[in-house]
């Protein structure tokens, strides 16, 4: 076995977003023989001391890297996120960037495994809508003709009989989202809800990561940050689905950073809130911000819509100005963050809380559960590989797939 590359130890810690002080606590390195824990880790990263196997195993777990990465001749290049469509806030951190990279690596790994299985089983049928609008003029500048074409393609993918009225008719935002998700999965797209790496401590803020799309024509993936409000999931799903239509793999945030992002926003918003429906909101530039908030909130709740998305449509139509839109967006975000924190506190304080497998199935989605169960029954997937695809431990696969076995 080759020697451990100390440069890889340093790279793994830094790309995990950890300082030396963070890492010694996570990895479990303590003071010894008059040498501080931080100095001991620094000595490992400089090559002065060779790490033990047990320390390497703990590093691999907490840095979220395979053990083999520590033995490579050079640290690996940063994982490919695809195109970065975000306008990032000034206040960002290496830790958050590291969490995003880890999440993207995880999803790309799952996606590549699924594609490989489909190819091996002779089921790698290309989906015609992925990249159907690739290279089309008018995406970057958002021409009306291009937007109409994208909206029509989007309707075909979801089913022409599905419209905003049926979406509004769903009893709750969660059921409205489930309707869109099921239609998207029926079209051949895997949809994940994933906004952390397994705990609240690794949650990724929505302002730096809202969604991620892998525009693969065999096994396309959409990832939605479930730290966001449930009505916002629907908007993100449609937004990322438009990315598939134009054939662009990439990551999206809360603020559009390009003409492509604005285009995807506009197409998604038009599907959820057509102009005719938007005209029912009695709102104008002369109203104060509190009244605008009240009317937008009432309208959005009745239709399972994101408050911010409604405000965005009003801004784009000239019904509210830039200043009020920015204020409304900030206020709606603050309200949701407070509400989410209250729900988490209630969950922690309650004796029960949602069943782990119920929550996990919801995040993974029926398409991934059905695919994994079917391929395990045929022998195309081992339990270990199924666990990797589902993002759980091998011993949890059986229970997680139990409802899907009858499909």
One digit per residue, the tens of pLDDT, for the chain of length 407 reads: 568 899 999 988 887 778 899 899 989 999 998 999 999 999 999 999 999 999 999 998 888 888 878 888 787 655 556 666 655 554 557 778 888 888 888 899 899 999 999 999 999 999 999 999 887 666 766 566 788 888 899 999 999 889 999 999 999 999 999 999 999 999 999 999 999 888 777 888 888 899 999 999 999 999 999 999 999 999 999 999 999 999 999 888 766 656 888 889 889 999 999 988 988 998 878 888 999 999 999 999 999 999 999 999 999 889 999 999 999 999 998 998 888 888 777 766 666 667 889 999 999 999 999 999 999 999 999 999 999 999 999 999 999 998 754 43
In a domain, 1, yes or no: no
Question: In whole angstroms, what is the distance from residue 375 CA to residue 371 CA?
Answer: 6
19 and 96 assigned to the same domain:
no
333 and 297 assigned to the same domain:
yes
Q: Which position has the token pair 């990315």? A: 243
Q: Give residue 407's pLDDT.
A: 39
- Which of 311, 332, 349 lies at the terminal end of a domain, its last residue? 349
Q: Do the beta carbons of residue 85 and residue 242 sit within 8 Å?
A: no
In a domain, 400, yes or no: yes
283 and 211 assigned to the same domain:
yes
**With 0-12 CB in 10 A as exposed, 13-18 as middle and 19+ as buried, what is 36?**
middle
180 and 217 assigned to the same domain:
yes
Give which of 215, 193, 214 is closest to 204, Cα–Cα.
193
Question: In whole angstroms, what is the distance from residue 51 CA to residue 150 CA?
Answer: 55
Helices (H) and strands (E) in the chain, counts: 18, 5
In a domain, 24, yes or no: yes
- Whole domain around residue 394: which residue ranges? 356-404
244 and 201 assigned to the same domain:
yes
Name, in order, each residue with C-beta under 8 angstroms of 280's C-beta and a sequence gap of 6 or more: 299
387 and 314 assigned to the same domain:
no
165 and 200 assigned to the same domain:
yes
In a domain, 35, yes or no: yes
66 and 183 assigned to the same domain:
no
- Which of 15, 41, 71 lies at the terminal end of a domain, its last residue? 71
Q: Give residue 41's pLDDT.
A: 94
Q: Give residue 372's pLDDT.
A: 97
Number of compact structural domains in the chain: 3
In a domain, 199, yes or no: yes
Bridge pairing between strands 221-224 and 190-193: parallel
- Which of 25, 50, 71 lies at the terminal end of a domain, its last residue? 71
Strand partners, 250: 83, 213
381 and 325 assigned to the same domain:
no
In a domain, 77, yes or no: no
42 and 65 assigned to the same domain:
yes
In a domain, 76, yes or no: no
In a domain, 246, yes or no: yes
Question: In whole angstroms, what is the distance from residue 326 CA to residue 248 CA?
Answer: 28
Strand partners, 122: none
Q: Give residue 82's pLDDT.
A: 61
Q: Which position has the token pair 């991934």? A: 368
309 and 163 assigned to the same domain:
yes
163 and 30 assigned to the same domain:
no
Give which of 118, 173, 167, 101 is closest to 368, Cα–Cα.
118
What's the CATH number where 38 sits?
Answer: 1.10.260.40
């Amino acid at each position: 076995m080759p020697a451990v590359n100390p440069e890889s130890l340093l790279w793994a810690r830094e790309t995990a977003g950890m300082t030396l002080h963070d890492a010694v606590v996570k990895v479990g390195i303590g003071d010894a023989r008059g040498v501080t824990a931080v100095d001991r880790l620094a000595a490992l990263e400089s090559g002065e001391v060779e790490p033990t196997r047990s320390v390497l195993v703990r590093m691999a777990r907490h840095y979220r890297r395979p053990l083999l990465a520590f033995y490579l001749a050079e640290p690996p290049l940063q994982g490919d996120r695809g195109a970065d469509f975000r306008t990032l806030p000034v206040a960002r951190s290496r830790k958050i960037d590291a969490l995003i990279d880890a999440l993207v690596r995880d999803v790309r790994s799952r996606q590549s495994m699924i594609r490989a299985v489909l190819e091996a089983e002779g089921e790698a049928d290309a989906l015609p809508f992925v990249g159907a609008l690739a290279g089309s003029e008018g995406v970057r500048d958002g021409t009306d003709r291009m937007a109409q074409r994208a909206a029509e393609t989007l309707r075909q993918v979801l089913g022409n009989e599905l419209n905003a009225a049926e979406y509004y008719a769903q009893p709750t935002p969660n059921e409205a989202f489930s309707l869109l998700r099921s239609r998207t999965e029926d079209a051949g797209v895997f949809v994940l809800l994933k906004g952390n790496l397994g705990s609240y401590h690794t949650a990724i803020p929505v302002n730096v990561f809202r969604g991620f799309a892998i525009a693969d024509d065999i096994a396309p993936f959409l990832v939605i940050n479930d730290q966001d409000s449930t009505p916002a999931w629907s908007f993100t799903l449609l937004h990322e689905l438009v990315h598939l239509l134009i054939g662009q793999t990439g990551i999206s945030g809360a603020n559009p950073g390009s003409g492509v992002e604005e285009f995807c926003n506009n197409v998604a918003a038009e599907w959820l809130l057509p102009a005719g429906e938007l005209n029912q909101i009695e709102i104008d530039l002369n109203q104060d911000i509190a009244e605008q908030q009240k009317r937008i909130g009432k309208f959005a709740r009745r239709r399972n819509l994101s408050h911010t998305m409604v405000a965005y449509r009003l801004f784009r139509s000239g019904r509210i100005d830039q200043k009020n839109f920015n204020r409304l967006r900030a206020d709606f975000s603050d309200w949701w963050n407070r509400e989410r924190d209250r729900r988490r506190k209630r969950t922690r304080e309650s004796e029960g809380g949602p069943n782990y497998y119920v929550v996990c199935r919801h995040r993974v989605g029926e398409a991934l559960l059905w695919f994994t169960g079917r391929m395990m029954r045929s022998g195309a997937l081992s339990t270990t590989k199924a666990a990797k695809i589902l993002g759980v431990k091998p011993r949890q696969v059986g229970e997680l797939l139990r409802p899907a076995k009858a499909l």
